[in-house]
Structure 1
């Protein structure tokens, strides 16, 4: 926010500002506020601005000030004061709705907003995912002629991206006469957040051709798109760029690289990144353990899990899911039981979620412990998910317990009656058992519901243009 020219500070204003800057408690601020109201000094934009800054840690005090500024005593507060209020509330996690209320009061009191009003107003709408209100504010931006301000445009990009309205985000982006690194980054983030990873990487490539140098946030979002689309070559290019530019691997960037290498099947490179990092947090450790789980290196994942605890990092829910998945993929049943039992006993400070139960059921069904797995499902305090029933279905088929597989298959159909794959699996099971009447029954259900078997597909990344091709059976 650009500063307004300060008026000549008289002795009274100087003393008040000094009191505000030295106040250390909420009661003290309330006493100063009472004196300001008594002597009608909140009309002074400099004083009002400093009051707002000092009250920004207290939503209740900010609410009082907002009410006073729009009371009958001050029918038309200065736009600079309103902007200060909007900015203060936009940084409060519990008050994202209030900036919009202030903006509406500005309209009612004929306070004309300027280009410094909209970025923080739109930030609050982005945080609260208020798409309809953002569209209304977008209309005001156009009517008032502030669309040429790049900070306002970037804020519009951000609110549409955060609300998952990537089409509107792209439209605003395409209409921008000038784009900076923030503009490109927000569009990449928007595509990434809605799962359009290939589109995110296309925008990232276009950014290079436009001569815009990516920043750390750009690379974190691009790496996430690489990780989820399997675009290893692009991820390696980003890593090479980081090295060429001599950028230090901070926690976010380093963790993103580890996650990308792990999901693309190059966990050794991810471990090399981990070792080169000066600072790590629990997310970094989680990325390593998840990568090892995907690589089916269960024993190594457990070793890193133990090392994580030894170095004083607290395991969270994601950590436990990752290490239990590693045990499942590698058939480490006893260690999986120990970790899960410790979780149930409260060692980690939280109760197991349905994901943890799903991992434990998967560990047991893969090992053929079907009765134990089914008992785990019956005693769990959560409703079984399709993942859990899917594990029982697969385990039952693999270990010859077709009754359990049949039971699980019907549960899956109950959960997702429009999913053709479950019907096909059940039909195939009945065919294996020679129960042809039941095969006909399931096929009839599929016909009545208009279900067709989904086509299988796979993808492969080819050089030299590093394109990802999809093949459909």
Structure 2
């Protein structure tokens, strides 16, 4: 090596000066300790008044992952004349730190210091007004957007639409939208979401329909906004109709539309549609995030396909807490309490993963649906002793349900009395249901009156109390409950059941005759009942004769909605095909008995999902073991 090369090797780099310092070095910092070292060097170099250099320091301190907003403010106050970029950075810092009122105050200071806002000022400022619900300030900010010439700025305008939606002011949101020169996906979606959030779904659809066709074809986001709105409002048929229209217009489904449609499948029990969507996800290469994975598992669980759900679950490369919770919950509603406990134990063997609050809600629910009293008591203590999870309202509700179903009504009452919080209507409703099952009139009457006052518009609460009175022969009290319902305008929810055949969902209402094949269906029901009588069927009329149950009594009893759905299934399903029924109410005793007998006499497996759980009827038996 030459002498010149050795000298070059051992020479020290020239010292950094004010003119050679590069502010871009600040962008490489990852901790507050580093940025403070650089800040000290900047002060020594005499650059502490340079907006570009100090602005980068403030940016790191205000909005980085390891931010220190107080330090950012101290640095800000040393600047003689900060520019709009620096003010905007502080406003963003306040917003990220969930201090929306400070954003508004700091904007006021910006104006007082005669600093003119730019197009980056208004989006975070408008969002701050949303978070703080600052209606008057928001309107003033809107006027400033106009005053400073940002009427054509899409970011500001879209945030204004969102702001007025947040203020429940759809009129002004629509006014901003209508004045937009260029409406992008965010503009359309924000307004559609706004109408949907306030329950104006028909108006939301009108906005969606007014989108230019070429724009709509390239916007899965707007389709999902409308589909998700229908799903969240339980208008599942309209979600399916819109999804079909989306397919006809050749709009590519993304992970968000897939998740929304899987939820619609859950709502209607549309297993075949759900399977098709699952296949499409796998074949089209749609990004499958944890939410979509969980929704697929949930769809199979809630459409009565537990084996498929478990297969999807087992094949997951990485199982997050939501996937485990969903699978345990699926086992719960299918009455697989022992399997749910085994899955918890398997989960506990996983590294870096611990059960959470929801895990134990689902596990305790599994114990309740399977009559595992001792196990339920054990895990109720276990979650606190091992994981430090304090029981919440849902856990107490599960324990009351567990004990109540098992006939341990006084023990269930003791759990309620010892709760650290006031029991909600769900907890008390669980005890009321148990009183109805076990005929405890005195306790049921006390709890029933409380539940009705807590939830005066829920017809099911009146129904339970009235049936309790009816079973005790207290007809005057039955009449009183009926009068109370009439006086308050509370209508009984009609029983509604759905069955999916060949990808189409058919719905039936108790005693309804609107189905195009109603004549054949009713004839089939009568044929079925005649055949069942020959093997000893006697109607279970417990609580039926008093016209105050969850379905119209003697409408007749034989024409409850699930009976109509099963009859249609026997008429139209392929030989040996499992009949899958989804019902909005709890299965009554008579329909439960009839379903068991049909499964034996017609040699047909029937799966019924009511509002509480799954019933799998096969060979004259039910998976619930008559415990539901």
Coarse TM-score class (shorter-chain normalised): 0.7 to 0.9
1:358 matched residue in structure 2? 397
Could you tell me how far apart the structure 2 residues matched to 1:276 and 1:262 are? 16
Could you tell me how far apart the structure 1 residues matched to 2:500 and 2:148 are? 50
1:176-325 equivalence runs, <5 A: 178=215, 181=219, 183-184=221-222, 187=225, 191=229, 195=233, 198=236, 208=247, 212-224=251-263, 226-228=265-267, 230=269, 232-247=271-286, 249-312=288-351, 313-325=353-365
CA deviation profile, 1:195-244 (whole Å, cap 9, x unmatched): 46646666666655565544444544554454456454554343223212
CA deviation profile, 1:277-302 (whole Å, cap 9, x unmatched): 11111111001111111222222222
Secondary structure, aligned partner of 2:21: helix
Q: CA 1:185 to 1:118, structure 2 compared with 1: closer, same or farther past 3 Å?
A: farther
2:620 matched residue in structure 1? none
- Specify the structure having the higher radius of gyration (Cα): 2
| 1:328 corresponds to which of 337, 354, 368 | 368
1:289–1:301 CA contact under 8 A, matched in 2: yes
RMSD after superposition: 4.2
1:226–1:232 CA contact under 8 A, matched in 2: yes
Higher relative contact order (CA 8 A, sep 6+): 2
| 2:99 corresponds to which of 90, 95, 101 | 95
1:227–1:263 CA contact under 8 A, matched in 2: yes
2:496 matched residue in structure 1? 458
Q: CA deviation at 1:148?
A: 5.5
Q: Provide structure 2 residue ranges, at least 5 long, that are not aligned to the other structure.
A: 1-16, 174-189, 195-206, 512-628
2:86 matched residue in structure 1? 81
Secondary structure, aligned partner of 1:452: coil
Could you tell me how far apart the structure 2 residues matched to 1:230 and 1:122 are? 42
Q: CA deviation at 1:355?
A: 1.0
1:433 matched residue in structure 2? 472
Secondary structure, aligned partner of 2:496: strand
Could you tell me how far apart the structure 2 residues matched to 1:118 and 1:436 are? 67
Secondary structure, aligned partner of 2:498: strand
Q: Is 2:380 aligned against 1:340?
A: yes
1:359-398 equivalence runs, <5 A: 359-398=398-437
Q: Provide structure 1 residue ranges, at least 5 long, that are not aligned to the other structure.
A: 1-9
Q: CA 1:310 to 1:456, structure 2 compared with 1: closer, same or farther past 3 Å?
A: same
Which is worse superposed, 163-172 or 350-359? 163-172
Q: CA 1:208 to 1:418, structure 2 compared with 1: closer, same or farther past 3 Å?
A: closer
Could you tell me how far apart the structure 1 residues matched to 2:319 and 2:499 are? 31
1:122-133 equivalence runs, <5 A: 122=126, 128=131, 130=133, 132=135
Could you tell me how far apart the structure 1 residues matched to 2:471 and 2:57 are? 78
Q: CA 1:417 to 1:188, structure 2 compared with 1: closer, same or farther past 3 Å?
A: closer
1:185–1:218 CA contact under 8 A, matched in 2: yes
Secondary structure, aligned partner of 2:374: helix
Q: CA 1:314 to 1:93, structure 2 compared with 1: closer, same or farther past 3 Å?
A: farther
Q: CA 1:204 to 1:420, structure 2 compared with 1: closer, same or farther past 3 Å?
A: closer
2:101–2:132 CA contact under 8 A, matched in 1: no
Give the TM-score normalised by structure 1: 0.78
Higher helix share: 1
CA deviation profile, 1:6-42 (whole Å, cap 9, x unmatched): xxxx944725554675584459639938966996854
